[in-house]
Structure 1
């Protein structure tokens, strides 16, 4: 009888500590307790864990994770399409946080590793990830952290003169050209700043464009990484684009680009970089 009571008490203790989170696939994942060893396979997810005060729970990150500084010292276990499954398993994670379209998701799940898949395209997606990761970690502060982000985005918008509103913008994510559309988190930030994105959301979040599309749209401002900026004028017809003719091209450094393209806790900083570009005050930019 005593052993039965002890077993029941142990079960109740485990149940009391258990945490259940439903990921963006609609899959409910239950852990016996809040995770102490976490592997993330998206830079924005690592940044979110750290922003919520749990950087010390990270056991490994993807190859592109580089912020905050302590993340650089962690084991790096591949990327979206080339995750090192054996290395991840060897880290004995309590849970792996990754994109819900990552190849590694099903493989890890088949090996018995708990996984949470996230769909991170929009500001609403980033906000939802904050809430779910806060719930997973059983840490308060996710709502307050997001409110600070919102306040920062609003402050960036207020920093712009009214004359900037309506400026037509082309934001190139990478050569191809792949561009941030209205339905991406970058497009949503630009809209909050009053800019007009030339790439409609119906094309997808980050569509591959025909270069002629950009020539026809003739944006007033082009935003691009500094590594790709030199090649713009070599593209057929691009010398006719108003932004290139007038020198209204913002060249983001690698560090600035990381801030902007990651839908995570540095979104307010991203909004300010975009605002500085629109206002012509981006340091080292135009």
Structure 2
């Protein structure tokens, strides 16, 4: 009996890993014969997801904006959306390259014979789905444990928001040029879960460019903005009439907080805590 057990164990160890078919967000199917041991990630949220699932040591290169966790800063930086270093990526001999759907290099990488998986989470539902896909890529059996932790953290953040802060209408400026977080973005979803309103309706898209006069007319009670965008905000034409500006209800996020807030991935619960703190300190004052 014992001999048969050890024989079965040795046989299992000798069997090759089962191949998996990965269908990405572009509808492309990539066949991975075994869990990849050399991974390139060209999107910060995907980099963070790989690391959160315990595979940071398998990364051999990342895009220039991937900076968390700290250990990825020692990896080769492979450029950004417009200047990805395809030759350097090829020289790293990755088993798979994770790219954004909007990446311009996916086809060039495939033409070089590299396996490419294009993923770009933009909503809570997307984050949960992408976690599952990367879990399959990495052969991690329970990738959804990360999603359960995110959900619990967001719920905890929501419970910390006082009743006086609920319902306040927020304008969240995510980038210079007045690009805003709409209701349909993952940031907008977080605001909704925290009980806040959003002056940018879902019909305008997740991150629309907004006319300054639109914000004046909408008259938000609270403004969230990065430290760069905050410069001169009160001097914008007509903005001194906005309730948020008149009452000093403006949350200015530092760059490190901006990274957390702008990445739909494992740190979304932390992002919810940052927003909740803003609501507690400003909206309830």
Q: After TM superposition, is the score higher than 0.5?
A: yes
How far apart in 2 are the matches of 1:281 and 1:119?
32
Contact 1:215/1:237 (8 A) holds in 2: yes
Contact 1:225/1:257 (8 A) holds in 2: yes
Deviates more, 1:38-47 or 1:117-126: 117-126
Contact 1:52/1:141 (8 A) holds in 2: no
How far apart in 2 are the matches of 1:163 and 1:130?
35
Pairing 1:146-157 to 2, within 5 Å after superposition: 146-157=147-158
How far apart in 1 are the matches of 2:129 and 2:82?
24
Matched residue SS, 2:173:
strand
Tell me the TM-score normalized by structure 1.
0.92
Contact 2:222/2:282 (8 A) holds in 1: no
Q: What per-residue deviation string (whole Å, max 9, x for no partner) do you get for residues 12-66 of structure 1?
A: 955x432221111122110121100111111110000000000001010110111
| Stretches of structure 1 lacking an aligned partner (at least 5 in a row) | 1-11
- Structure 1 residue 281, shift from structure 2 partner: 6.9
Deviates more, 1:247-256 or 1:110-119: 110-119
Determine the structure 1 residue equivalent to 2:60. Answer: 59
Determine the structure 2 residue equivalent to 1:260. Answer: 261
Matched residue SS, 1:280:
helix
Determine the structure 2 residue equivalent to 1:105. Answer: 106
Pairing 1:38-57 to 2, within 5 Å after superposition: 38-57=39-58
Contact 2:250/2:282 (8 A) holds in 1: no
Pairing 1:155-166 to 2, within 5 Å after superposition: 155-166=156-167
Pairing 1:78-157 to 2, within 5 Å after superposition: 78-157=79-158
- Structure 1 residue 172, shift from structure 2 partner: 0.6
Pairing 1:1-286 to 2, within 5 Å after superposition: 13-14=15-16, 16-280=17-281
Q: What per-residue deviation string (whole Å, max 9, x for no partner) do you get for residues 141-179 of structure 1?
A: 311111011000000000011121111001111110100
Tell me the TM-score normalized by structure 2.
0.92
| Stretches of structure 2 lacking an aligned partner (at least 5 in a row) | 1-13
- Structure 1 residue 80, shift from structure 2 partner: 1.9
- Alignment length, in residue pairs? 271
How far apart in 1 are the matches of 2:172 and 2:208?
11
Matched residue SS, 1:116:
strand
How far apart in 2 are the matches of 1:109 and 1:204?
31
Q: What per-residue deviation string (whole Å, max 9, x for no partner) do you get for residues 63-89 of structure 1?
A: 011100101111110112221111111
Contact 2:101/2:120 (8 A) holds in 1: yes
How far apart in 2 are the matches of 1:214 and 1:87?
44
Runs of 4+ in 1 over 2 A off after TM superposition: none
Matched residue SS, 1:97:
strand
Contact 2:251/2:282 (8 A) holds in 1: no
